[in-house]
Structure 1
């Protein structure tokens, strides 16, 4: 693969990561509610999920999902159900006495949340299936290798953007969020999760 192709793809990946979407909104709301550390671990989880989707495209699994309405619908509804569960958790989430973070801020639940959030959205795999092959070169490396390289490039670019968003939202959390406002933010995050679930199944 040529360096020029990688540069163009990286620029496109950054612009896509910056565009409003469920992943960046997810990182922002989690960081605003619970601090930058939460957003960082969620970002690691989302990145791991993107590795999964890249592998699916490279192996041809995403094409199978695209041509199987039943499988696509089943995964979509599982993803929506998970988002609704997150909405319920956010709505009833208590506020710690000593600060403005939710109680459940262990790294593993946050990392797992990002992974499940990403891999339970089959539309990400379909997007990768449509987007990544446009930058492959028939006379270059094996297509599966090129897809994985492009997928990892996309992940690195998205990671840089999302980490920046996490720290920006974490800065807001430290300076403007009080326990009372945090309770309101938890309710708003729940509404966002419900909206994301509806978008997943309806759009």
Structure 2
């Protein structure tokens, strides 16, 4: 698990979309009149990291619990596979009926 977390961290930090997000979105929330613009940017960045950490940790706990619950019963796993298959079939039928090419 620590290796996966380290890999995830490296991917997140080296992702150019992260830098673009911080460069494009965060400055909109900085109040220049309040002064200390770098400190405000740092605070907003840390707040983003904190919210992301809590969100990702919550999803990890929920997904781990769901995996354990589904894994205890082969029937549940079969039903999940069937539900996924039906969803894909439904999407295919919808695309065929609507005639959309995009």
Q: TM-score w.r.t. structure 2 length?
A: 0.64
Displacement of 1:139: 1.5
Alignment pair present for 1:154 and 2:63: no
Displacement of 1:124: 0.9
Distance in 2 between the 1:159 and 1:120 partners?
17
Output the aligned Cα RMSD.
1.8
Q: Which moved more, 1:140-149 or 1:169-178?
A: 169-178
Displacement of 1:137: 0.6
Displacement of 1:111: 2.6
More helix by share: 2
Structure of larger gyration radius: 2
Partner of 1:111: 5
Of structures 1 and 2, the one scoring higher in RCO (CA 8 A, sep 6+) is 1
Distance in 1 between the 2:6 and 2:53 partners?
16
Partner of 2:21: 127
Partner of 2:59: 165
Displacement of 1:112: 1.4
The count of residues paired between Structure 1 and Structure 2 equals 74
Displacement of 1:131: 0.7
Distance in 2 between the 1:156 and 1:116 partners?
17
- Regions of 4+ moved over 2 Å: none
Displacement of 1:123: 1.2
Displacement of 1:120: 2.1
Distance in 2 between the 1:147 and 1:114 partners?
24
Q: SS at 1:139's partner residue?
A: helix
Gaps of 5+ in 1: 1-104, 182-203
Q: 1:55-96, CA deviations, whole angstroms, 9 ceiling, x for partnerless residues? A: xxxxxxxxxxxxxxxxxxxxxxxxxxxxxxxxxxxxxxxxxx
* Equivalent runs, 1:182-197 vs 2, <5 Å: none
Displacement of 1:150: 0.3
Distance in 2 between the 1:174 and 1:141 partners?
50
Gaps of 5+ in 2: 78-102
Partner of 1:144: 38
